[in-house]
Amino acid sequence: MDTIAETMDAWSVARPGPLSGSPLTRTHVRIPSPASGEVLVRVAACGVCRTDLHVAMGDLAPHRSLVIPGHEVVGHVVRNGDGASRFRLGERIGIAWLRHTCGGCRFCTTNRENLCTSSRFTGWDDDGGYAEYATAPEAYAYRLPDEFDDVSAAPLLCAGIIGFRGLERAEVPAGGRLGIYGFGGSAHLAAQIAISRNVTVHVMTRSAAARSLALELGCASAGDATDAPPEPLDGAILFAPVGDLVPVALGALDRGGTLVVAGIHLSNIPPLNYQAHLFNERQLRSVTANTRRDGERFLAEAARAGIRVHTTVYPADAADVALSDLWNDRVEGAAVLVHP
């Protein structure tokens, strides 16, 4: 493979299940070759997303045996597959969660490719960035703003994009009031975009460190996860994968408010009371992946707004430690794996 080695170190999900059973295994595998229309990148940094936890722990049914997780990948193009010409060799690009859509279904043809029934995802259907090298279809990769270094750019590629889509679906007007439940990698980025739009942000989270970070970033208040915000909310985003918080957040909405659940996995939601939680045209919405347009819009807005990406950095050979810390709420901001 020219000057590229033939094998690489990587992490794969060997036995999905509790972290105590070590579902993530360090392995040595062959470096992939880019297929037609794909690029091969040398990975510089890869964000550690809560979705990786769900894949490793089996909350998301495995789509592929021994899959390499990681879908917040920053790297440099080292090889183009046949027909790939969008990026030059050496160019820095980002690989995100959405990896493939059919382009012809009723969702794809109506600007809703995130709902494509033939979609494929990085780190679930195909190998991701918990490795030294990764491939991606060039049409689904992103050019990254120069304003962000490799470590800061990595969380933008899922945490940032999904938080942005959640904010869009919450439909909070400028001057409005947004509640955020859970305050990790995605939430702290969405909060900064909201603040840049002149939205008042109230944060509810069980982590004292996260509450401090929220106030440092300019949020108007920060309370415990089940606390009532100081004023009724025009919209709210639930980032914590905790179904018990759905009625809590719905009850905090003003008339006509919208609660958006931004995770790919959620524990069971307890029974709702129509009068207390949904009447007066309050809405409950979900977020499913994202469109490439979402990604392009978010990256541009993040650069303009000058958002600060708070990260906890781990060496690439400590992905298992990073996942454990994420599970146990020991990560401030977003966890990122880096290669030497």
Residue 284, beta-bridge partner list: 259
Residue 1 has a pLDDT of: 44
Domain count, the chain: 2
Residue 58 has a pLDDT of: 94
Residue 177, beta-bridge partner list: 200
Same domain, 209 and 322: no
Domain of 116 in residue numbering reads as: 7-157+310-338
User: Closest by alpha carbon to 13, among 143, 125, 151?
Assistant: 125
**CATH at 121:** 3.90.180.10
The answer to whether position 299 is within a domain reads: no
Same domain, 174 and 72: no
The answer to whether position 48 is within a domain reads: yes
SS3 135: strand
Same domain, 182 and 321: no
Residue 3 has a pLDDT of: 64
User: Closest by alpha carbon to 190, among 301, 42, 325, 338?
Assistant: 301
Which string of DSSP letters, residue by residue, matches 6-41?
SEEEEEEESS-S-GGG--EEEEEEEPPPP-TTEEEE
Q: Is 198 left (phi over 0), alpha (psi -120 to 50) or beta?
A: left
The answer to whether position 301 is within a domain reads: no
Same domain, 76 and 170: no
**C-alpha to C-alpha distances, 64 to 7, 33, 164, nearest whole angstrom:** 20, 18, 29
User: What's the pTM?
Assistant: 0.94
DSSP 131: B
Report how far Cα 138 is from the mean position of its chain's Cα atoms: 20
Same domain, 13 and 63: yes
**CATH at 184:** 3.40.50.720
SS3 254: strand
Same domain, 20 and 40: yes
Residue 5 has a pLDDT of: 79
Phi, psi at 183, each rounded to 5°: -140, 75
Same domain, 175 and 249: yes
* Residue pLDDT tens, the chain, 340 long: 456 779 999 999 999 999 999 999 999 999 999 999 999 999 999 999 999 999 999 999 889 999 999 999 999 999 999 999 999 999 999 999 999 999 999 999 999 999 999 999 999 999 999 999 999 999 999 999 999 999 999 999 999 999 999 999 999 999 999 999 999 999 999 999 999 999 999 999 999 999 999 999 999 999 999 999 999 999 999 999 999 999 999 999 999 999 999 989 999 999 999 999 999 999 999 999 999 999 999 999 999 999 999 999 999 999 999 999 999 989 988 999 999 8
The answer to whether position 304 is within a domain reads: no
Instruction: Mention every residue, 6+ apart, whose C-beta is less than 8 A from residue 84.
Output: 34, 36, 37, 38, 39, 138
**C-alpha to C-alpha distances, 79 to 31, 32, 88, 96, 97, nearest whole angstrom:** 12, 11, 9, 18, 21
Same domain, 141 and 227: no
The answer to whether position 298 is within a domain reads: no
**C-alpha to C-alpha distances, 93 to 55, 75, 292, nearest whole angstrom:** 24, 6, 14
